[in-house]
Structure 1
Amino acid sequence: MEIVSKALSLEEVLPHFIETLSQIQGGSADLARTLATGTVSVLAPDCTAQSRLYDFRHGGLLAPASLAEATAGNVQPVANTAGFLAKELVGFGGMDCLVHDPLKQPGEASDTDGQAILIDGSLFYLNRQCMQSEADLVDRIRRNTLSWHFLQFIGRYRNSELSTLKSVLLHSVCIVVGAYDGESYLIWRRD
C-alpha cells in the first residue's frame, strides 16, 4: 500500500482543526482567517476513497500494524504515517517546531523534544531548526502522537511571538494535526 499526499477541501477540514485547537485557548475566528491563506493535504493510502478522507474521527485508514511489532501488554500497536510526515516536513529545514503536549504540566516536561514553554497556558516543546534529521523528526512525531491528539506548528518564531496562540498562528507556515485515531495527519501549508 502506497502512502500519498492528497489535497482536501479547506472548508471541510476547518472544523477538525478548530476542534483540535480548542484544547488550547484561542479563537476559532483567528484560526479560520489564518487557514484561509493556505491549503490542506492528508497522508493516506493511494486507494482511499475521497469521501473516507473526511471521516477524521475514526481509524481504520491504514492496515493494522503487525502483531510481531507488539510489545508486552494488551495494547495492539497502531500503524501510522509518522515516517511519511517526516519526509513531507523535511522541506521546512531551518524552521522552528512547536509540538503541543496535552498531558503534562511544565514541571513534568523533559527536554527530549525541545525547550518546554507555555503558550496561552498550554505546554509546548520548542525546537529550533527541528528539521535537521529525518530520523529524529520521526521519533519526535511518534512520541507526541496520541490516538486523540497531535498538534505541531512550524515557522520562524521570535521569543516575543511565543506568548499567545494568535501570534503563533500568524507566524506559522505549516500546521499539522492528527487524525484517524492517530493513524495519520492533516497538513496545512501557507500559500
Structure 2
Amino acid sequence: MLVTVGRIGRAHGIKGEVGVDVRTDEPDRRFADGAVVVTDAKVSRTLTVESSRWHSGRLLVKFAEVPDRTAAEQLRNLYVQSEVADDERPEDPDEYYDRDLIGLSVRTTEGAEVGEVTDVVHLPAQDLLEIRRTAGNTVLVPLVEELVPEIDLGKQYVVVADRPGLLDPEGAEVVETEPED
C-alpha cells in the first residue's frame, strides 16, 4: 500500500537536494539512504534516496535520479509516497497509520455509537479525526488523548470524550461576553 510521506519543496543548493515537507511520523525511516519513494504526478517517477539530513529544522533529501538544481526544481510540489506493508505498524504503540483509523466506529465514553471515522486531517498544530455522525453531519475532533482516550484496532472502534459542541455543534454552549469600554 502506498502512503504519502512528504511533499517536495524548493531546491536547496546546486547539487540536486530538495526540502521535504514531512507527512510521516517516521521521516528517518521513510527517507533513509536507499529508501524508494514514488511521486504522485500524472507520470509518476520512482526516486531513490541517496542521502538525507536535517538542516535548520527542515529535511533535505538528495535523490539518486536528481543530478542538479534544475532537475530538483522540476519536482517542486510533488507528493511522494512510500510502500508500506498492510501488516506494518508504527514503532510507537500510540501512533497509527491513517488507513488503520479510517472506517473505525466512533463511540462516546458512555458507550453510545455516534458515527464512523471517514478521514484523518493533518494540520501543522495537530491531526483531526473527520467523523461522519449517524445524524448525518460531519465533525472534526482533535486527535489528542484528552478527547480520544481509546483506540482499539482489534475491536474496530475509537472512543471520543464528548464535550459540549464537539460532536454536536448545534448543542454548543454560547458564552455571552460584556463589551469592553
- TM normalised by structure 1 equals 0.23
Structure richer in strand, relative to its length: 2
Structure number with higher relative contact order (C-alpha < 8 Å, ≥ 6 residues apart): 1
Structure richer in helix, relative to its length: 1
Say which one has the larger Rg. 2
- TM normalised by structure 2 equals 0.24
